[in-house]
A and B are shown apart, each in its own frame.
Chain A
């Protein structure tokens, strides 16, 4: 189900937006205009990928420099071992919509979803 998140104008090119859903999602607006969404939490240890370094379609984690391909979620550089979950994005009438994945998230040790704690 696509959910409206924010106007695209709120995310400059080369920037990211952290959507406070559960677990949080990072939405990236690449320099060449793509909009891509992945789980915000690095799969290695607790760090926000929206705070990371965006280069092309790749984000580098701000804590240990693991790199993920935002299109596939695959690990491009360790120490992360598990891919980050990706979410489908559509931009309609200037609004970013995200359909959250049905897959289970690959959260790092010690990080749980609120649903997981309930």
Chain B
């Protein structure tokens, strides 16, 4: 009989898991363990409205004032070890928490450039504290260099530009966003930088950061020096799974789970950014870092842990990005080799809908400033596809 469940990780996936536990009639103790000192908050605005002053930290709360989930919080103290044999979790301060079930939702953290930890004006952006520091830095700055033209980098560039900063974005790859969107559509989205007076340098490797306590410039491999009052490093994220070493949990680029979030250990499930879960859409295990995934998947993890049936079928991947006043949305699973065609609008007008196809079937849809049409296509993708491979048991 499961009496006490620990949710390790107190961000979107963690609070969604706690909610799902109560919705699925779990009446025992819930202990939520979070490395950050803050109550659960929503991260997407951190690179957008929070940086520009459009919202405050209290606006980001994921908790609902009207709900009482009966959670015992352990915030500001990361979990340090999972000991499944003795059914306990050891926290960094030495506290030992006895549990009957564990939901691993420790998320991911921003990847950093090596040897930049002591530099006060070099930032990454993942947490509320990161955003508070970056916002303060931008308020005093005239120039920003963004390393990495992914979604975080692009959104911070956009926010900083709207604050009046001189912004340069440096991308190592020849085309930004080629991974999630493909080279063709990645190039289209990257044009937004130039539209708004932000310099984008592609195929540009960073050689070193120049400065002692503070960075004064970013030097590229070709010798170009880019003066910078602030540097934002947006080169991806890595899963927070080191604390699970020695637990016996299978780890491969994240905690390995099947489509129902089950791990190789009974009474332990994993969900959100830290989990590498079998995706029926990809036909293999993938680690998703998207908001909607962290919002929806925990209900499945909870059902698995409680021995019930998953309340919701796995929906296809979805993410969005807001930059330069333009809304980019992608739904579905795109792979290398898929063809893409514009079905509505015009990339030159920064308003279009594009469909990715494989074997003549739509597999993903990309919208730029086309939310209405995008929603219709997204709903069509929702229909189950008979060609999906059967899930492995």
Q: Are A and B genuine complex partners?
A: yes
A53-75 residues with Cβ-Cβ distance < 8 A to B are: 53, 60, 62-65
Known: A62-B372, A62-B375. A81 touches B64 (CB 8 A): yes
Assembled-state Cα–Cα distance A64/B322 (Å): 13
Chain B residue at minimum C-beta to C-beta distance from A64: B292
Is B186 an interface residue, CB under 8 A from the partner? no
Question: Which residues of A, 20-43, contact B by the 8 Å Cβ criterion?
Answer: none
What's the minimum C-beta distance from B378 to chain A, rounded to whole angstroms?
8
Which chain A positions have C-beta within 8 A of B329? 62-63
CA distance in complex: A62, B372 (Å): 7
How far in angstroms is the closest Cβ of chain A from B41? Answer: 12
* Residue total for A at the interface (Cβ-Cβ under 8 A): 16
Question: Whole-angstrom distance between the alpha carbons of A64 and B56 in the complex?
Answer: 20
Assess whether A94 is interfacial by the CB under 8 Å rule. Answer: no
Q: Using a CB–CB distance below 8 Å, which chain B residues touch chain A?
A: 42, 44-45, 49, 54-56, 59-60, 64, 66, 291-292, 295, 320, 327, 329, 371-372, 374-376, 379
Interface check A47, CB cutoff 8 A = yes
Q: Which residue of B lies closest to A82 (CB)?
A: B64
Indicate if A79 sits at the interface (CB-CB under 8 A).
yes
- State whether the Cβ of A48 lies closer than 8 Å to any Cβ in chain B: yes
**Given A109-B45, A109-B49, A110-B49 in contact, is the A63-B55 Cβ separation under 8 Å?**
no
Contact indicator A110/B54 (Cβ below 8 Å): yes
Determine how close the nearest CB of chain B comes to the CB of A90; give it in whole angstroms.
26
Q: Which residue of A lies closest to B64 (CB)?
A: A81
Give Cα A58 to B182, complex, Å.
35
Q: How far is the CA of A47 from the CA of B44 in the complex (A)?
A: 14
Indicate if the CB atoms of A51 and B55 lie closer than 8 Å. no
Nearest A residue to B60, CB-CB? A109
Report the Cα distance A37→B374, complex, angstroms: 23
Q: How far is the CA of A50 from the CA of B42 in the complex (A)?
A: 24
Asked if A45 is an interface residue, CB under 8 A from chain B, the answer is yes
The answer to whether B55 touches A109 (Cβ under 8 A) is yes
Interface contact B375-A52, CB-CB below 8 Å: yes
CA distance A72 to B285 in the complex (A): 42
Contact residue among B54, B64, B372, B379 (Cβ-Cβ distance under 8 Å from A109): B54
Question: B373: nearest residue on chain A (CB-CB)?
Answer: A51
Starting from the known contacts A45-B44, A53-B376, A62-B329, 7 additional A-B residue pairs (CB-CB under 8 Å) come to A47-B371, A51-B371, A51-B375, A63-B371, A64-B295, A109-B54, A110-B49
* CB neighbours of A53 from chain B (8 A): 375-376, 379
For A50, the chain B residues whose CB sits under 8 A away are 372
B residues in contact with A110, CB < 8 Å:
45, 49, 54-55, 59
- Would you give the shortest CB distance from B258 to chain A, in whole angstroms? 25
- The reply to whether A45 and B295 contact each other, CB–CB distance below 8 Å, is no
A79 and B45 contact, Cβ closer than 8 Å, known pairs A47-B371, A53-B379, A109-B55? no
A62 touches B374 (CB 8 A): yes
Nearest Cβ in chain B — how far from A46, in angstroms? 8
Q: Could you give 17 example pairs across A and B, Cβ below 8 Å?
A: A50-B372, A51-B371, A53-B375, A53-B376, A62-B371, A62-B372, A62-B374, A62-B375, A63-B320, A63-B371, A64-B295, A81-B64, A109-B54, A109-B55, A109-B59, A109-B60, A110-B49
Question: CA of A70 to CA of B26 in the docked complex: distance in angstroms?
Answer: 32
Q: How far is the CA of A107 from the CA of B338 in the complex (A)?
A: 40
Residues of A within 8 Å of B45, CB to CB, are 45, 109-110
